[in-house]
Homo-oligomer: A and B are copies of this chain.
Amino acid sequence: MTELRTLKVALLGCGNVGAQVARILIEDADALAARTGARLQLSGIAVRNVNSKRDVELPQELFTTDAETLVKDADLVIELMGGIEPARTLILSALQNGACVVTGNKALLAQDGPTLYEAADKAGVQLSYEAAVAGAIPILRPIRDSLSGDRITRVLGIVNGTTNFILDQMDSTGAQFADALAEAQRLGYAEADPTADVEGHDAAAKAAILATLSFHTRFALENVHCEGITSVSAADIAAAKDAGFVIKLLAIAEKLTDADGGEGVSVRVHPTLLPREHPLAAVRGAFNAVFIEAENAGELMFYGQGAGGTPTASAVLGDLVSAARRLVLGGPQRTETTTGHVPALPIEAATTSYYIGLDVADQPGVLARIAQLFAEHGVSIEIMRQTIHKDAESNTESAELRIVTHRASEAALAATVEAVKGLDVINSVTSVLRVEGV
């Protein structure tokens, strides 16, 4: 066998994922070399404190605090520090030096992706980031390459395991949000400060990346409408369940055409009802899945582990081997195509179906008045169901009205809900939730 070329790999960051990447690079060195056509030599691991305790035992001499020097001498750089700086500066420096970069930094990509993509294009090197969305699930490469001859129309993703675990707990045990969050924290599925997950910020960054690749147009975090799950109540979950739905936090990117034929993309994250038969409804616990609709391919779904050190390390190493193969075989790389130039739409332009729960007076003509009001605002009702509750003690009756609409715009729905609130027969609007998959 001929002597294999050696490629130097610099690892920046040694947390949960980084430590597993380092372990696999060392343990599987021979198999990786056989598949790559080059030896991938871990030349160093940049960390803040070389003496920190780590879950995985790694050679002490690999650790350094001097990330800049490590990057200068590398053929391939893996960035797993997270955060904006110094990750951004180190990645740009690596790309300018001609190194290929693999990163899982969704926050940085969503905030300043274009700068990174341009630097990679200019240097003719590869920037890959499969690990940034949905952990171990191969989703970015299939969108970018396998579907490159198709037109994606819609992407629905369960891309945050923490919120999926919390919603799943609420659905299966009837727990309130706060209790389900506490359980998720106890089991290590949620961090001590869960804001980025439960407010939807993590999912929003991933939505921006998915939208950019799916619609060949750059979308940034500010183009993503974001609502978290903190206001989802046990009563919402119970009502959804009763009506045959499950509530999921979805990252959605879809192409919409307005009345004049103008195209735009709505990118958003919010709690969403899905029919229990929908493929995404069965995605339980901390698992992730991305559902794609394309003009020719039809419906596709990709399912797997969305987080965790070892699964995410698999995605990082897939990118690393692919980048290294290109270095061995030669030829420049292009990271994404952004020739679509479709505009990002505000949430008001999004259209979905809605589930609306109303507590109404139990008297004749109420249904008709409400139906009339929906019609006046151009919102078409698909299902309307009234349940009468009798209180034996007070001998009073109350009525609960559940409405599922056809697709309507956010603006029309908001106006409808405002008008409904003004009716004297309405005691309260108990829920307004979006529905997909019907």
In the complex, residue of chain B having the shortest beta-carbon distance to the beta carbon of A136: B297
Interface pair B151/A28, CB less than 8 Å apart: yes
Interface string of A296-310 (1 = CB under 8 A from B): 111111111100101
Residues of B within 8 A of A303 (CB): 279, 300-303
Residues of B within 8 A of A32 (CB): 149
Most buried by B among A137, A141, A145: A145
- Interface size bucket, A side? 35 or more
Known contacts A146-B141, A303-B303; is-contact A329 B334 (Cβ 8 Å):
yes
Residues of B within 8 A of A148 (CB): 35-36, 317-318, 321-322, 325
Q: Does A282 contact B (CB under 8 A)?
A: yes
Interface residues of A in 379-432 (CB under 8 A from B): none
Interface pair B318/A326, CB less than 8 Å apart: no
* Option from B304, B322, B329, B332 in Cβ contact (under 8 Å) with A300: B304
Interface pair B301/A297, CB less than 8 Å apart: no
Interface pair A297/B302, CB less than 8 Å apart: no
Residues of B within 8 A of A322 (CB): 145-146, 148
CA distance A330 to B296 in the complex (A): 28
Known A-B contacts: A35-B337, A149-B317, A329-B332. Give 9 more (CB < 8 A): A138-B147, A145-B321, A145-B322, A148-B325, A149-B319, A149-B321, A150-B318, A297-B304, A331-B331
Sample 15 A-B pairs with CB under 8 A, ordered by A number. A31-B151, A35-B337, A136-B298, A138-B145, A145-B145, A145-B318, A148-B318, A149-B314, A149-B317, A298-B304, A298-B305, A300-B305, A301-B303, A325-B334, A330-B331
